Structure 1
Amino acid sequence: MSATPRPVQSQSSIGSASAMSVASTSNPSTESLGEALFTVHHIVEISSIGSEYKIDPINDLRPVCPNCHVMLHTRRPAIPVDELKIHLENRHSS
Structure 2
Amino acid sequence: MRKLSLKPANIITISTKITEYENTILDVIADECNLTKSKLIKIAITKLIEEIIQNDTRNIIQSRLISGYNIVFNTIKEDSNITLDKCISRIRGSAPI
**TM-score interval w.r.t. the shorter chain?**
under 0.3
Point out which structure has higher relative CO (alpha carbons under 8 A, 6+ apart): 2
Which is richer in strand? 1
TM-score (norm 2): 0.24
TM-score (norm 1): 0.25
Which is richer in helix? 2
